[in-house]
Amino acid sequence: MKEFLTKVGSPVGLHARPASLFAKAAKESGCRVSLAKVSEDGTESPLVDGVSLLKIMALGIKCCETIKVQVEGENEEAAAAALQAIVESTEH
């Protein structure tokens, strides 16, 4: 399993378009993807399914907030890199 912490780069946070891109990439990766919101004090929300747009948006993740992503499967390294790029992008 590959696990990483990253900060959200999109000005709108992980909402609508960026969340949709994340969920689509998670689904296409063929890996099991989960994510959680990490508060400033280090506490984490419960993990949610990374292919569920509604569950991702329900986390209410804003710009510059930290998330934890877990990726498990055959192509986890490539999938993790692609998902991290989506989360950190400021282009959404």
Asked whether the predicted pLDDT for residue 90 surpasses 80, the reply is yes
> Residues with catalytic annotation?
15
In tens, the pLDDT along 2-60 reads 999 999 999 999 999 999 999 999 999 999 999 999 999 999 999 999 999 999 999 99
Give the span between the Cα atoms of 53 and 24, in whole angstroms: 9
Contact (Cβ atoms closer than 8 angstroms) between residue 36 and residue 44: yes
Q: Check residue 92 and give its pLDDT.
A: 76
Three-state SS for 47? coil
Please check whether the domain covering 2-88 is classified as CATH 3.40.50.10900: no
By the 8 A CB rule, do 84 and 69 touch? yes
Q: What is the pTM of this model?
A: 0.95
48, HSE (Cβ side, Cα atoms, 13 Å): 21
- The span from the CA of 21 to the CA of 51, in Å, is 10
For the segment 50-87, what is each residue's pLDDT rounded down to a tens digit?
Answer: 999 999 999 999 999 999 999 999 999 999 999 999 99
